[in-house]
Amino acid sequence: MSSVSEDAITLAVIMERKRVTSKWIDHRWEAVAVVPDPQDAAAGPRRIYEDVAERWLYPGLELRLHGDEAENYLLNIGAPQPRVFVMWRLEDEMARPQMLTVSYGEAARMMDASEQVDGVPLPLDLFGWVADFAWCHFRPPEHKGGRYASSRPVEE
C-alpha cells in the first residue's frame, strides 16, 4: 500500500461509469475499489478502462483515522465485509470522490446529509492498520446506571 502514517494513508479510488437502460438516465456512477496511490498521482484523474463500462482512477485521496470514531471502526472491521466508504459528487458529468472513511458513523452522517456514498471492500493490507488504531483509541462507554429504578444498585 502507499505510505502509512499512524493515522492517515493516501489512496486512489476507482470509479465506474456503467451504461444503463432507462428512460431517465443513460449511465450511472459508482465507486468500485480503493487501491494504492500511484507514483504519478500529480497527473490527476484518468481513464484506465473502457468497454461496456468506463473506469476512472482518482489519485490522492486521504483516508484519515480519528480517535473519537474508534467504536465505528470496530463495527466496520467486525462486519462480514469491512468497507471503505467513498463520498463522491457529480461535477460536469463526472463522478469525483471527495472523502474516504472507514467509519460507519461518518458514512451514515454523510448519507443523512444527502451525499452520495458507496462502500467498497476494505483492502486486506489496511485491515490490521485500522484494527490496531481502533483498539488503541477505543474507550468503552461509561455506565450511567439503569434506565429503571429496579435496575439501579441498592444503597445500604
Q: How confident is the model at residue 4 (pLDDT cuts 50, 70, 90)?
A: low
Three-class secondary structure assignment of 20-43 = CCCCCCCEEEEEEEEEECCCCHHH
- Model confidence pTM above 0.85: no
* pLDDT of 38 strictly over 90: no
Give residue limits of the domains in the chain.
8-140
Q: How far is CA 113 from the centre of its chain?
A: 16
Considering the chain, what percentage of its residues have pLDDT values greater than 90? 65
Matching residue, cell 467486525? 78
Tens of pLDDT, residues 120-143: 999 999 999 999 999 999 988 776
Q: Sign of the C-alpha dihedral, residues 134, 127, 102, 104?
A: negative
pLDDT at 13: 97
CB atoms under 10 Å from CB of 98, counted, come to 16
